[in-house]
């Protein structure tokens, strides 16, 4: 993988659910060490992009490359081993397993038991409530705690790229802030690249470095998040014209501190 090559590159990717085409010629890149966000209305194809990358959905056309190698037709387990982990929308924890066993499931491709044990403690450091409830069945956690567990489980795979789908969905503003603080820490401290789908456009733009806007399965706009925040279309359709430039200012300042 050359220095100028993106970590992840999608080129003209098309994916469908049966006869319904969900993404139509999507091309996007994720640079090493960056946070990239995908914005769009419900049904625009955002989650389908992540599912196609992680191998849950097989694309009909186009290519997905990771570190310069095609992963288009690999199975999900093979893609995890290559260094991509997916924290899907809706949390999807193993409800009858304990919190700790969920974390161990995230590390199922790893053989380094001592390092796995250290990483579990790291996850507990990120989200102390998970340590408090380590022996509890995951299905009995609150929605916010399940979201923390889903993200931690994905990180247990030691991914170079984390696919993060709607992490704030159903969370209170306080919990959302805590989750996104950890997202920034994971990126800055561990160097994990992140492809983020997030319903809160303001929060996504404040967190990410670069963004793509998707409509009806196609990329219609892409730019740095700083520039996207200033575009009239983004302000009107995603941020709210009156609130653009005001909401999320505290997080914007905090993001710069992480840099």
pLDDT, tens digit, for every residue of 114-142?
999 999 999 999 999 999 999 999 999 99
Which residue blocks in the chain are alpha helix, DSSP H?
A: 46-53, 76-82, 99-106, 113-126, 128-132, 143-155, 173-190, 201-207, 225-230, 232-234, 249-258
Tell me if 3 is assigned to some domain.
no
User: Whole domain around residue 144: which residue ranges?
Assistant: 8-258
- Mean pLDDT, to the nearest integer, of 163-168? 94
Tell me if 2 is assigned to some domain.
no
What CATH number does residue 29 fall under?
3.40.50.300
- Tell me the per-residue pLDDT of 37-87, one tens digit each, with 9 for 90 and over: 999 998 999 999 999 999 999 999 999 999 999 999 899 999 999 999 999
Asked whether the predicted pLDDT for residue 241 surpasses 60, the reply is no
Of 90 and 145, the structure prediction assigns the larger pLDDT to: 145
What value does the mean pLDDT of the chain take?
Answer: 90
What's the rounded Cα separation, in Å, for the pair 115 and 167?
A: 26
Tell me if 100 is assigned to some domain.
yes
Tell me if 39 is assigned to some domain.
yes
- Tell me the per-residue pLDDT of 178-218, one tens digit each, with 9 for 90 and over: 899 999 999 999 999 999 999 899 999 999 999 999 999 99
The structural domain count of the chain equals: 1
């Amino acid at each position: 993988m050359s220095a100028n090559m993106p970590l992840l590159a999608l080129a003209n990717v098309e994916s469908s659910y049966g006869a319904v085409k969900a993404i139509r010629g999507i091309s996007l890149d994720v640079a090493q060490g960056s946070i990239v966000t995908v914005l769009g209305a419900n049904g625009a194809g955002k989650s389908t992009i992540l599912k196609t990358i992680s191998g849950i959905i097989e694309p009909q056309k186009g290519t997905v490359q990771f570190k310069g190698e095609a992963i288009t037709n690999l199975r999900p387990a093979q893609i995890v081993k290559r260094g991509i982990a997916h924290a899907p929308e809706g949390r999807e924890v193993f409800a009858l397993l304990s919190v700790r066993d969920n974390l161990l499931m995230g590390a199922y491709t790893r053989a380094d038991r001592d390092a796995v044990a250290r990483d579990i403690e790291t996850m507990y450091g990120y989200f102390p409530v998970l340590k408090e409830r380590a022996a509890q069945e995951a299905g009995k956690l609150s929605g916010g705690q399940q979201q923390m567990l889903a993200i931690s489980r994905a990180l247990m795979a030691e991914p170079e790229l984390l696919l993060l789908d709607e992490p704030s969905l159903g969370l209170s503003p306080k919990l959302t802030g805590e989750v996104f603080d950890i997202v920034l820490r994971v990126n800055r401290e561990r160097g994990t690249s992140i492809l983020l789908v997030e319903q809160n456009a303001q929060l996504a733009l404040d967190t990410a470095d670069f963004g793509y806007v998707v409509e009806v399965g196609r990329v219609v706009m892409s730019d740095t998040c700083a520039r996207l925040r200033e575009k009239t279309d983004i302000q009107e359709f995603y941020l709210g014209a009156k609130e653009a430039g005001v909401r999320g200012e505290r997080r914007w300042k905090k993001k710069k501190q992480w840099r």
